[in-house]
């Protein structure tokens, strides 16, 4: 008993207990995160035929940059584990295949129809688990809370996309695109997969219900007119101040020239 009591009072006992607590907490977090991701990964199922057709499309249109087995090359990243959602977003918005190499993929008319996009998504999702295309339940804005979505958007997205969701400039020629007119599905997939310069907001960061709230807020922005007259790009006081300064300075110059001509 005396020896056991001495071990309990060992100087390293506190460190050992802290390490065990950290390991336990990390393990529980990993299990919870894996559970959330597993729910997202298995919500969409594809047939073997879709995956086979998708592989043909991939080899013909995507393998040049991403490799014949989607393992990635110097011109394109690996697609193993990116999931169906990433493919549906990139191909569905026309960003992939890229028209040309640049700082980021440009939005353009899609090269593939919906059926072909599903086939490509089926093939890539067969290579490794990843986020799936969202269910319709999380795209129904009638079930969303725009007020809560505004809070989440302002805290996580507004610094790049602007508080009104109209986009903005980033560094080194990059930019955050406007979210006005973007489909509910593509907004959700962008949050889930983090395309271009955007961070990933998986279900552990923003739940599917909260993503729906964000989409509801953005859709409400599309139908709300600017209460102050000219929106000026919804860029806030900087744009408004610049306009007032420019107009005010112009009026002062015109008035000064008029007074000078009168005195002459």
Question: Which residues fall in the annotated binding site for heme c?
Answer: 62, 65-66, 157, 160-161
Paired sense of beta strands 175-176 and 168-169, if any: antiparallel
Q: Is 192 exposed, middle or buried (0-12, 13-18, 19+ CB in 10 A)?
A: buried
Q: Is 256 exposed, middle or buried (0-12, 13-18, 19+ CB in 10 A)?
A: exposed
d(CA 185, CA 219): 12
Is the CB of residue 218 less than 8 Å from the CB of residue 165?
Answer: yes
- Name which of 137, 105, 118 is nearest 39 in CA terms: 137
Annotated binding site: 62, 65-66, 157, 160-161
- Identify how many contiguous H helices and E strands the chain contains and give both numbers: 11, 2
Q: Which two tokens stand for residue 46?
A: 């594809």
Which residue bears the tokens 């907004």?
A: 187
Q: Which two tokens stand for residue 36?
A: 């959330």
């Amino acid at each position: 008993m005396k020896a056991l009591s001495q071990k309990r009072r060992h100087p390293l006992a506190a460190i050992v207990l802290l390490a065990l607590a950290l390991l336990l907490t990390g393990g529980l977090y990993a299990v919870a995160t894996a559970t959330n991701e597993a729910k997202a990964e298995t919500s969409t199922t594809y047939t073997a035929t879709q995956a086979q057709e998708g592989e043909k499309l991939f080899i013909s249109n995507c393998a040049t940059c991403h490799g014949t087995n989607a393992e990635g090359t110097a011109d394109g990243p690996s697609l193993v584990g990116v999931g169906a959602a990433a493919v549906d977003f990139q191909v569905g918005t026309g960003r992939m295949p890229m028209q040309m190499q640049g700082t980021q993929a440009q939005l353009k008319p899609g090269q593939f129809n919906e059926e072909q996009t599903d086939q490509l998504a089926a093939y890539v999702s067969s290579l490794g688990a990843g986020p799936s295309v969202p269910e319709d339940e999380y795209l129904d804005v009638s079930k969303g809370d725009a007020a809560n979505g505004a809070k989440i958007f302002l805290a996580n997205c507004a610094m790049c996309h602007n508080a009104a969701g109209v986009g903005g400039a980033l560094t080194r020629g990059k930019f955050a695109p406007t979210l006005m007119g973007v489909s509910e599905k593509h907004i959700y997939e962008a949050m889930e997969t983090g395309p271009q310069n955007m961070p990933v907001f998986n279900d552990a960061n923003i739940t599917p219900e909260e993503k729906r709230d964000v989409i509801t807020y953005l859709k409400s922005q599309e139908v709300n007119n600017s209460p102050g007259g000219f929106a000026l790009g919804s860029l806030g006081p900087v744009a408004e101040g610049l306009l007032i300064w420019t107009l005010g300075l112009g009026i002062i110059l015109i008035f000064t020239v008029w007074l000078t001509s009168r005195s002459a």
